[in-house]
Amino acid sequence: MKNLKYLSSSCWTLFCNKRIVACGTSVHSISYLNRNQNTRRALLHQDPTRLEGGHQKQNCILKTPKGAHDVHPHQMAIREKIFKTVVNCFKRHGAESIDTPVFELKELLTGKYGEEAKLIYNLEDQGGELLSLRYDLTVPFARFLAMNKISNIKRYQIAKVYRRDNPSKGRFREFYQCDFDIAGHFDRMIPDSECLKIIHEILKELDLGDFLIKVNDRRLLTGILSVCGVPESRFRSICTSIDKLDKVPWDNLRRELIEDKKLVPETVDRIGEYIRLTGGEDLIAWLCNDPTLSQNKWAMEGLGDLKLLYKYLKIFGVTDKVCIDLGLARGLDYYTGVIYEAILIHDETPKDDQKEMQHIGSVAGGGRYDNLVGFFDPKGKTVPCVGISIGIERIFSIVEKKVMESNEIVRTTETQVLVASAQKMFLEEKMRIISTLWNSGIKAEMLYKENPKFLTQLHYCEQRGIPLVVTIGEMELKDGVVKLRDVATREEAIVLRENLVEEIRKRTCETNEKH
């Protein structure tokens, strides 16, 4: 019997059939056993893949799914610091937090993302419901407002979203978004200006380098397309192409508009005269006086709001980082008014007598979407909304690279003190001390050995960046004291056991103030 596991498939079938027929087993059972590998092995009383405890060993490739990645402790420490900066800014502006499911009904996401809808992850039928993984946090937020009949809220949400994209460097299928939104009927451009102020604050605090916030208005872009002779039914498709202008040269985009989008060259050239314009208040004034645009209702509405927005941004002191860019389109369908995008930049050598700003990548974006909630409300009730989304994954990559290049030590824990001993047989006493520290809210550790070497304990502190060491020994136990050691300076102080918690709090507070 022991050699039967080496039988070929045909030999195995012959053997199995004869054995089962001899036992009076039905033909149906023979067919089932041939299909069932586990039963086959059980019949032979052997299972080379079965491990102790009844579990089966599986030969699988150890890798993360394409477009996803693991995050290591030092990376998580950097990310948590970034999250803290972002959340503190959101809270400073009065936002409250919500959460929504990671999946939504498929029909709720359909028709909200334009050509990008092909990137939505659709799930199998689950209990009679067709579901999709959320593509962003904005559409679920609009559903949340309509479903809960909320007409006024300032919220933030940090969560993962999913896109069936082709992964590349810095682009994932699963990634975080950090959103801040203001929903409600308010006076024009006041919430919008605050959103831009928040982007400015976060990028300043994170110290990522020079940045620029590009601003446009979808109504102005619609007006431009209209006066250039583009049919209204083509606006959405043309905007999707225009949104590539910061990534591809104008000549390539022109060719796409003519060859793929079937626009006549004269129309494309007229569009190009507008969408390549950038500037500030002077550009807004010039466009307001443009004889063609001034006759278009959409364009004038957009220019009026941009003019008011610029006025408020001056008061907030952020216009030095703001630029009106008529080539900014933002591909998502739900935008209805002001749109914006923040990029990290550096200056390039002048080309063709023009100084180009080459952007490293978009790190924030957003805009106004006044009609999205109305799609979900049974009565079509609209709730005007404006919001921002921080490109947190790209920011993670930038900050992680800077930390790696600077050789900065990243603390992966917040441990304040290590409880140690230079002598043997003090495990139980260390446990008593650390229990007191834990109960008092002190972040403390000790090594999981009965008698670790004292030098090993000190090295652990240095590797982990733990600032303090509490040492107990025979003399300290007898006198009711401990030694408190500063790891950086190696200075030691004798502290009464009853004063230890207070002394640690005092020292860690002083350290935090220095940083």
Annotation: binding site: 136-138, 163, 177, 181, 330, 334-335
DSSP per residue, 200-220:
HHHHHHHT---EEEEEEEHHH
Residues in the chain: 515
| Residue 450: C-alpha distances to residues 431, 443, 446, 485 (Å) | 11, 21, 10, 21
Are 137 and 100 contacting, i.e. CB atoms less than 8 angstroms apart? yes
HSE (CB half, 13 Å, CA atoms) of 340? Answer: 31
Closest Cα to residue 334, out of 162, 152, 111?
Answer: 111
Closest Cα to residue 106, out of 121, 85, 93, 84?
Answer: 121
Neighbours of 363 (CB within 10 A): 23
Q: For the stretch 199-213, what's the b/e string if a residue is b when 16 or more beta carbons lie within 10 angstroms of its beta carbon?
A: bbbbbeebebeebbb
DSSP per residue, 340-402:
EEEEEEEEPPPBTTB--EEEEEEEEEEEE-SSHHHHHSTT-----EEEEEE-HHHHHHHHHHH
Task: Return binding residues for L-histidine.
Answer: 136-138, 163, 177, 181, 330, 334-335
Residue 350 phi, psi (nearest 5): -55, 135
Residues 6+ apart with CB under 8 A from 476: 482, 483, 494
Are 348 and 210 contacting, i.e. CB atoms less than 8 angstroms apart? no
Residues 6+ apart with CB under 8 A from 489: none
Closest Cα to residue 385, out of 215, 138, 197?
Answer: 138
| Beta strands 103-105; 131-133: pairing state | antiparallel
